[in-house]
Chains A and B, each alone.
Chain A
Amino acid sequence: MRDLKFLFPFLLLLIPVLSYPQDQPATPITTVDVHSIGPQKLGYLPPIIAPPNNPQSAAKIQLGKMLYFDTRLSKDNTISCATCHDPSMGWSDAGPTSSGIDKQKGGRRAPPVSNAAYCPLQFWDGRAPTLEEQAKGPIQNPIEMGNTHEVMIRTVNDIPGYVAKFEDVFGTPTITVDMVADAIAAFERTVVTTDSPFDRYVKGADQALTPLEKKGLEIFNGKGHCTACHWSAHFSDGRFHNLGVTPTDPAKPDEGRYAITNNPADRGAFKTPTIRDVALRPPYMHNGSEKTLEDVVDLYDRGGRVGDPNLDPLIVPLGLTKNEKKALVAFMTRAMTSLNPEVADVKPIPASDFPK
């Protein structure tokens, strides 16, 4: 034993490893720079922290909810935020891509509004840094709501009911685009799904997941390589990857993040979406090219599309067995589907209830 004394210093070195707090509360994602820290563990979502310049209030949230469902923000009074981000469709739509005014088709799938508050950047290509900035975009997108900010503001300012509510919330009767965006963002920050079987499981309810779902979680965090990108409590790294998704138009592939950064490494790269509630919103990928979760798993298992010159180096064939795929899908289907009634029960506001 005397001759093993030399091991003691190394055993002492292990103390800081063993004592490192493994279960410390996750840092709120909105307050850290996701682009400079590495993968974080899967876990339950921390509370949303609203930005200091747009604090939450019940009145603002209610106002934002009205605006979210109000088609009058669009050019021809036919499209609202909820048209493409429908609560009954996992806060997305039927896809594969979204339809805007005059039944124009967009090139990309509607990203879910649920838990978007946890995204460090918004849109598939990350061109908006905040929910507030994101909310302004579709209003003046010619194939989405087709309006202009000026016309939209005139419209809202002409509705006395809105003027009164904005004055109540913001203290001024003159409505601006920023106010509209702030209100919508405040509402969207309430659309968070924090209670899924997975969340209950990580909080200690061992029976919350079935044995098959537990196997799926193991694959998700191991051989399936899912947590290479779908990490943290949000199940997303908030970063951009080219997965080798089959383009809608091979002759003119969507350049994705490259259009924003002009960085060749971003060509064909899109933001990692969250896995939370993923089963509620097929089809999948930025262009809705994969119909089911099984198709998605198959795509990853193959290692993406053959011949994609800018495939993310994270993407490699996985060698999953049929049972492993089944477990993965089981995990993503029920275990990741939220049980939050306050989100699931959000109903569209009928036009008759809009401010007059």
Chain B
Amino acid sequence: MKRLSVFVLTLIFLDLALPVDSQAIPAFARKYGQNCNMCHVAFTKLNDYGQRFRDNGYQVAGQEGKESNVIGIAPPLSLRLVLGYSAYINDVASTSGFGLYGFDLLAAGVLHKNVSFLLIYTPRIDSPASQYFGDSGASQIGSLESVSLVFSNLVNTALNIRVGRFEPGYHVFSSKRSFYLFEPYEIYTFTTRNNSYVFDDNQIGIEATGHYPIGFKYALGVVNGNGANPDNNVNKDIYLNVVQTFGKGDGQTAGQRIGAFGYLGWQPLDLPGTVISPTGETNGGDNKSFYRIGGTASFNLRTLNLQVLYMMGSDDKALNSLDSTKNYEYSGGFAELDYAGLLNNRLVASVLYNWITPPSYDSERQMMAYSALLRCYTGDWTAVNVAFHVEFTHRETGKDVKYKENMIGLALDFGF
């Protein structure tokens, strides 16, 4: 039994340890003839300039309508490939091997002044071939990680609309643009029982965002709340994120930034089990609420950046299969310290601390993890870049009996 649980935990760990889909869009760099560090501290983490570029619908801030659209440039296609070698050791077993840890195909660009798009296609490369074409119905061979249209500057910079499947605006510290390839932010992927919502998922819906010269930003969204799957109830989830930057910059590499976010969602207890809509939605009933709230902060000192996130989550007691008399309440977060140095930030070093504190009756899921990484970038290439990446994570799960795991990954992170 113990072997089985170790095996299951190992699988879970490896599944979580697989890189999240990451974003760096070299097609933009090709378009502008600039190197990656124009927009990135070092790819994939955005600097202030890149953040403004993204906030402005993939247009250079203040230069809207003064650049070529996708018709006038090379096809705006990019790919991201992460391959390498990883080793995993837990209390009773170890394993290692080469891996293809991530592959994204990206297209993005400006269609017209203040109208842009982003598309990320992620082929499934990590499952048995039988799952691609098997007769069990699992025929999905990839996923549209993101596909969205952005209508920018509808009311100056105060209103921008994004529709489609996108990364919700409460992700001020995006796991998709984090330096960490193997071990993202644990609290983002912590799921509760009977609830299909995953904080880290891209969601389908509509989002309004705005940014102001005083350094204030907001994101307000309405989404299905269950990733790319068809909706399963008539209630829609809503969220709000606000941040305020102090000093110059956007808090990415300059200035100091604090923020707060909240997400209110609904999860059906009564799932009819049959598809009732031609487009796949079901009319799940007996919807129960859950929420996630938290705060963020980003502090910069010269070449150092400290990012902190604290989050609390609560699911209605009806969703709590462990103790139906109480809401399932948990908290967690992370603190990450990044350093970028050498010429043009050719070297990145980072340490990361993750923690999750579930309710006492679910203490087996209590978790803390330490991670560290080094990334070295190879050259001054416009819109092509290769980073050598080494990342280590030590994780302990459980309260009274701790389950310890170590993972080290070496990777080539290639963006074109």
Contacts and interface: CB of A to CB of B under 8 A. Distances in A.
Nearest to B62: A313
Nearest to A214: B380
Contact of B253 (A7, A13, A317): A317
Contact of A316 (B49, B123, B213, B302): B49
Given A3-B132, A228-B60, A316-B248, A221 B67 contact: no
B280 interface: no
A38 interface: yes
Interface residues of A, number: 48
A103 interface: no
Contacts of B38: 221-223, 225, 227-228
Interface in B35-57: 35-38, 47-49, 52, 56
B344 A313 contact: no
Contacts of B47: 316
Contacts of B36: 222
Contacts of B380: 214, 217-218, 221-222
Interface stretch (B17-25, B69-77, B191-199, B288-296): B69-77
Given A218-B344, A225-B38, A231 B62 contact: no
A28 B152 CA distance: 32
Given A16-B75, A219-B343, A316 B33 contact: no
A296 to B, nearest CB: 17
B75 A239 contact: no
B60 A319 contact: no
Contacts of A42: 33
Contacts of B133: 3
Contacts of A228: 38, 49, 60
B3 interface: no
A321 B302 CA distance: 9
Nearest to B36: A222
Query: Main SS of chain A's interface residues?
Result: loop
B9 interface: no
B343 A314 contact: no
A133 interface: no
Contact of B37 (A3, A222, A302): A222
A38 B67 contact: yes
Given A221-B35, A221-B38, A314 B62 contact: yes
B301 to A, nearest CB: 10
B344 A223 contact: yes
A349 to B, nearest CB: 40
A10 B141 CA distance: 13
B81 to A, nearest CB: 11
A309 B35 CA distance: 30
B376 interface: no
A14 B79 contact: yes
B77 A317 contact: no
Given A228-B49, A313-B52, A314-B60, A319 B66 contact: no
Contacts of A214: 380
Nearest to B254: A317
Interface of A: 3, 6-7, 10, 13-14, 16-17, 20, 35-42, 214-215, 217-219, 221-223, 225, 227-228, 231, 239, 241, 265, 302-304, 306, 309, 312-314, 316-319, 321, 323-324, 327
Given A16-B75, A41-B33, A218-B344, 9 more contacts: A6-B141, A13-B105, A38-B31, A42-B33, A215-B343, A223-B344, A303-B249, A313-B62, A319-B340
25 contacts: A6-B141, A7-B123, A10-B79, A13-B105, A16-B75, A214-B380, A215-B344, A219-B344, A221-B35, A222-B34, A222-B37, A225-B38, A228-B49, A231-B33, A309-B213, A314-B49, A314-B61, A314-B63, A316-B47, A317-B249, A317-B255, A318-B254, A319-B300, A321-B341, A324-B343
